[in-house]
Amino acid sequence: MFYFSWDVDLNFVPSIRETWIWNLEGKFGTNPPKLGEDPIKSINGYLYNKQFYSFKTSSRPEIDPKYLIDFPLLGNGYLLYEKIGDEVNFFSDSSELFWKKPINSYPRSGYYASPVLYLSGDNNTVFLLDESGNRIGKQELNGRFLTDYRFDTKNKGCVVLFSGGEIYRLDEKANLKYGFDLSKEKENSFFKSLSISPDGRFVSVHFSVNDKDWILILDEKGEVVEEFPLAKFYPHQLYLATSNDGNLFLQTPDSLQFYEDGKLVWEKIKTKQVGVYQSIFASDQFVVAAVDSELQFYTPKGNLIRKKRISPSELPVRFFPGKTDSVFYMETKTDLVQFQML
C-alpha cells in the first residue's frame, strides 16, 4: 500500500494531512475519518485494470468488453457506451439499467455529471446532456477541433475550448455564461489548454501564435484581465492551475512556474523531463503539484507550504476535489488517498 511521510512538520496554515488510504487492487482501506468527509460515501468509484469498482455497492459490475465506461467521480451511476457504435446506457448505482439511447458520441461526466459532455467523433461538436440523456441549456457547442475542457470543482458547470479559439463557459445547467471566438485579431493562432479557478471566477487559456506561446486570463464575464507571453514554446497541451486571485501555476515537462500579474515570479527546474501529462490541482487555500518525486504544496501567492516524497513507481498521479472545500483526493497507480485541511 502507498505510504509516505512528511519531510517537515512545521506550523503552517493550512495544515494538510492524509486521512484515508484505499488500495485499488485489493479493494480495502483504512477506516473513514471520524471528522470530515466520508470518502466511501462521496466517491462514486474508480477504474483499475479497466474494471470499474463501485463504492456504492462495494462490488465490480460485470461489463461486456464491447463497452467503455464513464462515470461522475462524485456523482451517481455510470454510463456504458460502445467503442464503435451509437448506443449509450445509463445504469444506477445498483447496476439497474435506467435508460438506453442512440447517441453517436463519447460521454464525459466530470465530477457531478452537470452537465455531461458528449464529444462527437470528429471533435468538432460537443453535445450537452443531463444525467437522463436529455439535451439541456445551450444543447450543443461547435468549433474547430476540441482541445480541452475543464469541470468546475464546485459543481458550477464547465469550460470548453476548441483549437480554433472557440471558448464556451457554461453553468451547471449548460446555460451559456459567455462564449466567443478568441482567435479574432490573432492570425495563425492555436488554442491548447484551460484551467478554472476554484471559485469559478477566472479561466486561464494557453495558446500559441506562430511559434510563440501565450496565456490569457479571463474574468467571469469573459473579459481579458491578463495577456502575457511564455518564455518557451510548447507544441502540446499544458496543465495549469489558476488561483482565486488570478495567479497562474504552470506545469510543463521541464519545470513548474508561477506567474503573478502576468509576470514570472519563479521557476523550479525539474531534474528529469517526463511526459506531456503533469499533475496539478488548485483549491481555495492551496495548490499542489507533482514535481520530480515530490508533492509540493503552495499558497495561492506561490509560497511553499511543504513537500512530501512520493515513490516514482506511483507516478503519474491525478488529483480531484472532494464534496467539501477542505478535502481533495489523489489517485496513484495503486491507491486512492484522501487529504484534509485540518
| Closest listed residue to residue 95, CA positions, set 116, 66, 64, 129 | 64
194 and 181 Cβ atoms separated by less than 8 Å: no
Residues 6 or more apart whose Cβ sits within 8 Å of residue 181: 164, 165, 166, 167
Domains and CATH numbers, the chain: 16-341 (2.130.10.10)
Q: What is the CA radius of gyration of the chain?
A: 20
110 and 151 Cβ atoms separated by less than 8 Å: yes
Terminal Cα distance for the chain, rounded: 24
Mean pLDDT, contiguous 10-residue spans, the chain (342 residues): 42 77 98 95 96 96 94 98 92 95 96 97 97 97 98 98 99 98 96 98 98 98 98 96 98 97 97 90 97 96 95 94 96 97 85
Q: What is the pLDDT of residue 122?
A: 95
169 and 178 Cβ atoms separated by less than 8 Å: yes
DSSP characters over 80-141: EEESSSSEEEEE-TT--EEEEEE--SEEE-TTT-SSEEEE-TTSSEEEEE-TTS-EEEEEEE
198 and 177 Cβ atoms separated by less than 8 Å: no
Task: Tell me how far the alpha carbon of residue 222 is from its chain's centroid.
Answer: 20
Residue 39 phi/psi, 5-degree rounding, is -65, -30
Q: What is the pLDDT of residue 274?
A: 80
Task: Tell me how far the alpha carbon of residue 311 is from its chain's centroid.
Answer: 22
173 and 137 Cβ atoms separated by less than 8 Å: yes
Residues 6 or more apart whose Cβ sits within 8 Å of residue 3: none
64: cell is 461486456
C-alpha–C-alpha distance, residues 231 and 254, integer Å: 13
Residues 6 or more apart whose Cβ sits within 8 Å of residue 65: none
Q: What is the pLDDT of residue 14?
A: 67
Neighbours of 109 (CB within 10 A): 23
Task: Tell me how far the alpha carbon of residue 162 is from its chain's centroid.
Answer: 17
Q: What is the pLDDT of residue 85?
A: 83
| Closest listed residue to residue 151, CA positions, set 75, 50, 248 | 75
